[in-house]
Amino acid sequence: MKVLRTPDRYFKNIKNYPFRPIYTNISDKSGTELRIHHIDEGPKNGPILLAMHGQPVWSYLYSKMIPILNDAGIRVIAPDLVGYGKSDKPSLRENYSYQNQVDWMNQWMVKNNLENLTFFGQDWGGLIGLRMIADHPNRFMKISIGNTGLPYLPNTPKEVIDEINEFRKSKLRLTPLTMIREVRKMDSGKTHPALKFMYWQKFCWDSKNLPVGLLNSTMMEYKPKNEIRNHYILHILGLSKISPYMNHLMKAYEAPFPSPAFKMGCRAMPSHVPIIPDQSLEAQKKAREFFSKTNKPFLSVFAGNDPVTNDMEKDVLKMVPNAIKAPHIGGGHFFQWTKPKELSKVLIDFIKNKYD
């Protein structure tokens, strides 16, 4: 397996990310060494929150929340998934299977001897983290998730699967605006969600130089359509660095990727979300059986206005009979950035037993 590593200089000018890097070396099943980065901030004797990010972000997503949580006496450990942030980046699409991601992060957790954890995961951080909990339940005390879930759709109609496969192979070329328009229809209830999520999957895979900074900016801050369009044109021309629309947020999310070759994880992982039956089906079923029986405190804290995951909350509450549902706090898909105070308060209250 060929592995890429982002040089430290690419992270030098990032605003409001003063955290000391910690690195752990693990071994892939192929024998290849992978270096995983994480940060560990706050009182060493405080309750531990393991905060996991998704795609296409990195631990920078939690940079607004960490000081709030630390001030409340909570120690925050936030890793970068393999393929993201300061962690190593395998170069091939097939490297980023769901099972590989779970295996890598399990090994990272065990090697760091992390125990007595409260978990919070969002997006892929939830998909991977929930599987980690099912594999190592004794390492976790409490579980919280938002804007994520544990997809398990064994009975997806064949015509839906065929339509998705044909769509993925089609020559249709999407732009950020056309993709966003379709994805925003996901919670309309008028069609199978996989038929909308496929637009995100196809856009990510077909974009060899995925505009990560632009995509995250559109989800975390107001971005007029003309700015999205104009920056995207400059991006595909290879001129994004001189774009007048490139701000500090966009720079922070482009920093891990010196060239398009480093973006394989961001491009590949949406297609590995098991929104239709795939090789992860049995592992998902096993994990869901664990959560259906667990007595660990479980908090569902969703934004409530994220079209990609709104319907997932119903499935989470059905999957986990003892789950507590927190009020929706808004903020869209990446509410760690848009609602850091509100989300931090919910998690602080959960950790300090105010939901019990």
- Our answer to whether residue 306 is catalytic in this structure is yes
- Our answer to whether residue 53 is catalytic in this structure is no
Q: Which residue has the tokens 């942030």?
A: 85
- Our answer to whether residue 356 is catalytic in this structure is no
Active-site choice (28, 88, 103, 306): 306
Active-site choice (80, 103, 123, 135): 123
E strands in 109-198: 117-122, 140-146
Residue 136 has, within 13 A of its CA and on its CB side, a CA count of 21
**Cis before 56? omega within 30:** yes
Locate all alpha helices (DSSP H) within 151-220, ordered by sequence: 158-169, 176-183, 194-206, 212-220
* Residue 303 near residue 329 (C-beta atoms within 8 A): yes
Give the dihedral of Cα atoms 208, 209, 214, 218; nearest 10 deg: 10
Report which residue type is found at 133: I
Report which residue type is found at 283: A
Burial environment of residue 161 by CB neighbours within 10 A (0 to 12, 13 to 18, 19 or more): middle
For 318-331, give the DSSP string.
Answer: HH-TT-EEPPP---
Helix (H, G, I), strand (E, B) or coil at 93: helix
Q: What are phi and psi of 41, to 5 degrees?
A: -125, 145
Residue 172 has, within 13 A of its CA and on its CB side, a CA count of 17
What is the C-alpha separation between 66 and 41, in angstroms, rounded? Answer: 7
* Residue 131 near residue 162 (C-beta atoms within 8 A): no
Active-site choice (38, 231, 235, 333): 333
What is the C-alpha separation between 111 and 60, in angstroms, rounded? Answer: 23
Pick from 117, 99, 97, 142: nearest CA to 38 = 117
* Residue 86 near residue 11 (C-beta atoms within 8 A): yes
Residues identified as active-site = 123, 306, 333
